[in-house]
Structure 1
Amino acid sequence: MPILRALLVAPVVLTLLALGTASLPSEPHLTPASPHLHRLVAEGDAPAAALLAGPSASAPYGTYGSAGPGIRPGDRFRAGSITKTFVATVVLQLVDEGELRLSDSVEAHLPGLIRGQGNDGARITLRSLLTHTSGLYDYTEALPATDPAVTGAAGPSAQPLAPGTAIRTALAHAPATAPGAYAYSNTNYVLLGLIVQRVTGHPYAAEIQRRVLTPLHLSGTSLPGARSALPVPHSRGYHRSADDGTLRDVTAIDPRIAGAAGELVSTLADLNHFYAALLGGRLLSPAQLATLLDTRAADGRYGMGVYPQRLSCGTTVWGHDGHITGSYVRTAATVDGLHVFTFRVNTDALPGPALQAALLEAEFCGSRTT
């Protein structure tokens, strides 16, 4: 699992973390929530948690479980850095079409943009952006904690962070790592969003809609742009104060601060459907799917918009997590896309690594009741 990096700094952290056509599991097989799901509520400071596994032959809409009040199977929620898998998919499709090459430099597509403080766009390739080996400073590390967009406030005072501002923020700093070293940075995917627009003439959100959401009928998934309200149905999203433990409703935020690094809104069923289709070969050619899963550039820690996690039973699962104001979600799947699992909580309090691993072990290693 990659080291989580802050997209929105304290007090709210933002980490940019199927086979049917229905985006809402209108008839999911309901199952008693696992002890681990209840632990997300009891130990993880989450008001509520939910999971969806499948679909399967016995449960074509998936197997759903929940713990805590006010959370439902078809809720829309903010998916944070899971956006990166969608962006990487579009980039690799453009590579397949000959519009891009992974060896292309950033300078070739965005001339003059990446310069200063030791940063050089001529030395940064698309491959290094996709694999977080560019060395670019993560712009989210420099965001002020008092920014209304950071704290989840919505209204006239909120100042969205445009991609250009995000890049300038990153370029005010020297590279975070030596060239070629892995370091998770949201700046990489903001740049990829700009490159997609430069090459296609369309915003990255429009290309994701045309190439992924529409073909897969992911009607519960959207890239909201300036829309601060979540589509209905949705549960509320909360931030728990570190000072007194109180919950604050942060459902409405301006997601433009995340952009191509994390603005996606989705559902449990849509995320399962997307990763099943992606890993099952429905969105990429065999060559580009192999490239997506190639972790050699990042020392085994990250592919291109996905990362592996090896479980105790020997199974390696692939996917991503998303951590954004009011929400945390994790999707994992077997490499063939036949077994997909997503869980979420409606708060930005991060579940501990051990608790997350317990959920994945229970699902993929056959110990669901332990």
Structure 2
Amino acid sequence: MAAGVVKGNGNDGTRITVRDLLRQTSGLYDYIDDPEIQDRLINHFDESRYDTTPAADLVAVATKHHPLFVPQPGGATRWAYSNTNYLLAGTIAEKAGGASWQDLVAHRIVAKLGLRNASVPGLDPFLPDPHVNAYLTTADGKRLDVTDHSLQHTADSGVMSTTADLNTFFRALAGGRLLPAAQWREMRQTVERTDDPEDVAEMPEGTYGLGLRRIPLSCGGFHYTHEGDGADVNTRSVIRISTGPDGTEISPMRAAEARLTLGVTAARTGDIEEAIGMGTTALEADRKSLPSLLLVADELDEELRSRYPREPSSRDFHERIMTIKRGVAPPELPF
């Protein structure tokens, strides 16, 4: 598959394996970084919002550029994140599975796990209700509603979910409900980046497996995760629509989950005060909501302890989590 479409300008699909695509070691140029695509996204979003460009055409955009590197058998493993990898992986899955990647995700993951608030919109630019709105500040300082669009219809970004369903997915993945044990072990075989400055900039800490990051903890352990850039934009919108004009929270549970998600984002970007503030406010929710909130709060607690182990506020937040756990029965896991 890669050999037939990845060629020209120094690109050589015969040197790229499926494993290279999934663990981001192919060296392929990220089509999102293409100057023309960047211009469309930033300066001409409104004209481009109903985009239906096929994945194959986006791969062709990537191969107009020289690769960052070409995998070398027996050589040092290079790592660089590229959305192009997932376009190719989705195409391969369609050939192997005999269905579109959207149908494969819908049947093998969404339906299997009973994810009520996860779906694959495809080319449908409209989100099902209830949903929040996202906005982009344009070059002239105006605010543009970018909620309705079909730009993210390909395999690198075309799934939407709530935080709760995402947690269900990760628990099922780790608990053996989605993959045989051998394949789960393969996912966790991670790549050690080189000391090349570009590799260090892309992955300053941790290692990368098949679609998973392994991040070290200060206690000597580690956790698996995968970041995304949409959390901050969309979660702040959740808080906004969950709060009435008089400041009363209409949907306190949704707002609390959103604050915990923002707390995780803040912790990862170095803003410990924002992270602690969001987490503390979220945990002031109604006591009946705490068992479900703890599933998300644990992630924030891990981030704080991993990144700020000597900060008193980080230790205080951890103690608060432990105090709540001692007084609240843990929620039943789905596996």
TM-score (norm 1): 0.58
Q: CA deviation at 1:224?
A: 0.7
Structure 1 position 174 matched with structure 2 position 66: yes
Please tell me the residue identity of whatever aligns with 1:363: D
Which residue of 2 is the match for residue 250 of structure 1? 146
Q: Which amino acid aligns with 2:172?
A: A
Deviation string, structure 1 residues 9-48 (Cα, Å, up to 9, x no partner): xxxxxxxxxxxxxxxxxxxxxxxxxxxxxxxxxxxxxxxx
Partner of residue 208, structure 2? 302
Aligned: 1:283 with 2:178: yes
Root-mean-square deviation (Å): 3.2
Are residue 202 (structure 1) and residue 202 (structure 2) matched? no
Residues 311-326 of structure 1: matches in 2 within 5 Å? 311-324=217-230
Tell me which of the two structures has the higher relative contact order, counting C-alpha pairs closer than 8 angstroms and 6 or more residues apart: 1
Identity of aligned residues (%): 33
Q: Structure 1 residues 293 and 352, CA, compared in 2 at 3 Å: closer, same or farther? A: closer
| Per-residue Cα deviation, 1:138-193 (whole angstroms, up to 9, x for no partner) | 111104344269854378x7433210111100110111124241000000000000
- Unaligned stretches of 5+ in structure 2? 72-76, 195-205, 236-256, 277-297, 306-314, 321-335
Instruction: Give yes or no for the alignment of 1:293 onto 2:209.
Output: no
Return the alpha-carbon distance in structure 2 between the equivalents of residues 191 and 243 of structure 1: 36
Equivalent positions of 1:209-288 (< 5 A) are 209-241=106-138, 244=141, 247-256=143-152, 259-288=154-183
* TM-score of the superposed pair, with normalisation by structure 2: 0.64
1:291 alignment partner AA: E
State the 1:247 CA deviation. 4.0
Give me the whole-angstrom Cα distance separating, in 2, the residues matched to 1:169 and 1:114: 11
Distance change >3 Å, CA 148–CA 124, structure 1 → 2 = closer
Higher strand proportion: 1
Shift of 1:123: 0.9
Give yes or no for contact 1:154–1:252 (8 Å, CA) kept in 2.
no
Give the distance between the partners of 2:184 and 2:267, measured in 1 at CA.
30
How far the C-alpha of 1:351 sits from its partner, in A, is 8.1
Amino acid at match of 1:316: F
Letter in 1 for 2:269: P
Change (3 A) 1:295 1:127: same
1:127 maps to which of 5, 10, 19:
19
| C-alpha distance 228-185 of structure 1, shift in aligned 2 (>3 A) | same
CA 1:131–1:125 in structure 2 vs 1: closer, same or farther (change >3 Å)? same
Where in structure 2 are the equivalents of 1:63-74 lying within 5 Å?
none
Which structure: larger Rg? 2
Change (3 A) 1:213 1:133: same
CA displacement, residues 42-78 of structure 1 (integer Å, 9 cap, x when unaligned): xxxxxxxxxxxxxxxxxxxxxxxxxxxxxxxxxxxxx
Distance 2:105 2:43 in 1: 25
Q: Partners of 2:140 and 2:214 in 1: how far apart?
A: 35
Q: Deviations over 1:191-225 (max 9, x none)?
A: 00000111112011101111111110012111111
Provide the rounded CA distance (Å) in 1 between the counterparts of 2:160 and 2:51.
20
For 1:54, the equivalent position in structure 2 comes to none
Evaluate the alpha carbon distance shift between residue 166 and residue 367 of structure 1 in structure 2; reply closer, same or farther with a 3 A threshold: farther
In terms of mean alpha carbon deviation, does 142-151 or 192-201 score higher?
142-151
Partner of 2:46: 153
Deviation at 1:296, TM superposition (A): 2.8
Cα deviation, 1:87-127, whole Å, max 9, x if unaligned, reads: xxxxxxxxxxxxxxxxxx733xxxx2111111111110001
1:306, distance to aligned residue in structure 2 (A): 1.2
Name stretches of at least 5 consecutive residues in structure 1 with no aligned partner: 1-104, 330-340
Contact 1:138 1:170 (C-alpha < 8 Å) held by counterparts: yes
Query: Which residue number corresponds to residue 106 of structure 1?
Result: 2
* C-alpha contact (below 8 Å) 1:153/1:252 kept by paired residues: no
Letter aligned with residue 255 of structure 1: L
CA distance in 1, matches of 2:266, 2:10: 34
Closer, same or farther: CA 239–311 of 1 in aligned 2, 3 Å: farther
Which secondary structure does the structure 2 equivalent of 1:255 belong to? coil
Say if 1:148 and 1:118 are closer, same or farther in 2 by CA, change over 3 A. closer
Task: Give me the whole-angstrom Cα distance separating, in 1, the residues matched to 2:148 and 2:112.
Answer: 29
Runs of 4 or more, structure 1, over 6 Å off, are 349-352
Letter in 2 for 1:248: L
What is the aligned partner in structure 1 of residue 32 from structure 2? 140
Which of 301, 314, 328 is the equivalent residue of 1:363?
301
* Contact persistence 1:306–1:318 (CA under 8 A): yes
1:213 is aligned with what amino acid? V
